[in-house]
Structure 1
Amino acid sequence: MHVPDAFLDAPTSVATGVVAVAGVAIALRRSRGDLDDRVAPLAGLVATFIFAAQMLNFPVAGGTSGHLLGGALAAVLVGPWTATLVMTVVLLIQALVFADGGLTALGTNVTLMGLVGVWVGYGVFRLARRALPRRTASVPVAAAIGAFVSVLAAAAVFAALFLVGGTAPLEADTLFGAMLSWHALIGLGEAVITFLVVSAVVSVRPDLVHGARDLTALPHPAPAEEAAR
């Protein structure tokens, strides 16, 4: 999913850069209320995990490989505003230190993974939470669904951007078919990893998981109520 330099023309790269800067600026302002002494260390751990996980590829099919995007995972664990910042830091370090994703395409990559991946994944997660039973065991399931859809959404947005400003001529049906078919398989891997990680955190410290806050904050029954049961 990392877009290299020269895949998109200059106007498209500049436009996605503007979108990325605006999104990160809003996230900086909105995340201040979320980054307390509990969430800040977790955000650092999430950034470290996603950074390391994105360096590891898993085979998909036909010699193609994929890696974790991590937007939905970060959003469920630390909230979407903080997740946007986490993804931006990860992508910036990868571009500067490892040349993973071009510098001129940094805005595109932040838009795809730090904005589309995070917010589509979190939005689908919230919808899935409403449809699933109201318990902590539903959180990893909803997170996996959000992760799968977030990969497809990021792939679809890239395909649309390439149709507008791609540096090679491709038919729309060919481009969308290739991107969505391969990324559906990658999305399955994303869903599995997200499910496992969220399950592990929820089982130990559900109070730290942003996507489970409404469950861990539920009032406990009074002693009289417990005795009556």
Structure 2
Amino acid sequence: MHVPDGFIDAPVSIAAGAVAVGAVAVSLKGARRELGERTAPLAGLVAAFVFAVQMLNFPVGAGTSGHLLGGALAAILVGPYTGMLCISVVLLMQAALFADGGLTALGVNITNMAVVGVLAAYGVFRALVKLLPRSRRSVTVATFTAALVSVPVAATAFVGLYALGGTADVPLGKVLGAMVGVHVLIGIGEAAITALTVGAVLAVRPDLVHGARDLQTPLVLRTGTGPAVPGTPQAAEQSLAARSETRAGTGPQTGTDPAAAPAPTAPAAPRRTRPVWLAGLATTLACAGVVSFYASGSPDGLEKVAADFGFATTATAHDAAGSPLADYGVADIDDARLSGGLAGVLGVGATLVVGSGVFVTVRRRRAEPAAAAATAAPSAASGASRAEDGTAHSPGA
């Protein structure tokens, strides 16, 4: 559903660009709350994976194809704010390097796919997760439904923008019916891909799925005959250490037999994300470098509707049409398989680098205030201690 230059007039394109800029600014702030030390690199990989899978056009009948939009997938895996940034990075890379989606229409595409697509998908997903039983199967069902709904909603948003600034006189009611009809079919493919991907991550590492965070069981550590210790690993460890000191006679209650105190249970070490990241990267490169060669060559849903209703001719030449990677091929390489595969791999690399850079930077900006507060606290405490000592030992005391 990449809108080319020329479909939407300048005023509406500028307005959509302003909406996109505002949404990205809000997402940068919101992503600070979603991104953790482990999830920032994974968010870059999610962006790269969406880029790769968008190259895999699948047939939906009547000479039409579709591809993943990715809003539901990104939002459920890494959160809605981070998901908007993921799709925005993908659209920027596609427009700038591959001449896919107009540069003047970049705001329109971000608004349609990164804003409307993500918000619609995540809204449906959260509503279903609250209504359904708390289980991984419910998360998968909610994921499938959210992805299915998000595609025709984004298609409807495009028709709304075209009603405001379309450059051709077309029967909007018929265009709306055609866009929604074909994108419902595309949505089925989107739903299947999204549910399979989220389900695979759930089966291996449910703790890495943002949308399944409510399914995580709070940590409960038990120490012999003592009560359960709920909470985070750090809180549990502190509580166990305090109980051990008390039983050993170093705490407030002395005289307890040290031999009766069981050894505290150490909290489980955080699970490594590198194996998941490497497996995801290998899958992403395989999709972009190998599987993409077998993608359908039929026009996608928007292209087909535009051709059927006569406004495809209003598209203008892309400013990046002379790019060495334009149309997902490497210039001067005659072998189509090699050219397309290499372009896909280069696109994955560029998206991964840009996306990871954005998310790591956002994560660091979140960590800076916390580090400053942690540094200021001991200084304040030290100052208060010195003040008390001065009062206690002053000559006039």
Q: Please give the range of the TM-score, normalised by the shorter of the 2 chains.
A: over 0.9
**Residue 30 of structure 2 is aligned to residue 34 of structure 1:** no
1:159 corresponds to? 159
**Hey, what's the Cα distance between the residues in 1 that align with 2:81 and 2:217?**
21
Q: Secondary structure at the match of 1:65?
A: strand
The alignment's TM-score, normalised by the length of structure 2, stands at 0.55
2:99 corresponds to? 99
Worse overlay, 134-143 or 71-80: 134-143
**Hey, what's the Cα distance between the residues in 2 that align with 1:163 and 1:131?**
36
Q: Superposed, which structure 2 residues align to 1:1-229 within 5 Å?
A: 1-218=1-218
**Hey, what's the Cα distance between the residues in 2 that align with 1:218 and 1:60?**
44
Q: Secondary structure at the match of 2:136?
A: coil
- In the alignment, structure 1 segments of 5+ residues that lack a partner are none
The alignment's TM-score, normalised by the length of structure 1, stands at 0.94
Cα distance, 1:175–1:222 mapped onto 2, change above 3 Å? farther
- Which amino acid is 1:128 matched to? L
1:121: Cα distance to partner?
Answer: 0.3
**Hey, what's the Cα distance between the residues in 1 that align with 2:215 and 2:70?**
23
- Which amino acid is 2:179 matched to? M
1:72: Cα distance to partner?
Answer: 0.7
- Which amino acid is 2:9 matched to? D
After superposing on structure 2, the runs of 4+ consecutive aligned residues of structure 1 that deviate more than 6 Å are 221-225
Superposed CA deviations along residues 74-124 of structure 1, whole A, max 9, x for unmatched, are: 000000000111111100000001011000000000001110011110000
Cα distance, 1:11–1:197 mapped onto 2, change above 3 Å? same
- Which amino acid is 1:185 matched to? L
**Hey, what's the Cα distance between the residues in 2 that align with 1:81 and 1:131?**
23
- Which amino acid is 1:195 matched to? A
What is the root-mean-square deviation of aligned Cα atoms in Å? 1.7
Give the % identical residues. 59
**Hey, what's the Cα distance between the residues in 1 that align with 2:62 and 2:135?**
40
- In the alignment, structure 2 segments of 5+ residues that lack a partner are 228-397
1:131: Cα distance to partner?
Answer: 2.1
**Hey, what's the Cα distance between the residues in 2 that align with 1:182 and 1:222?**
56
Larger radius of gyration: 2
Contact 1:9 1:167 in 2 (8 A): yes
1:136: Cα distance to partner?
Answer: 1.7
1:220: Cα distance to partner?
Answer: 5.2
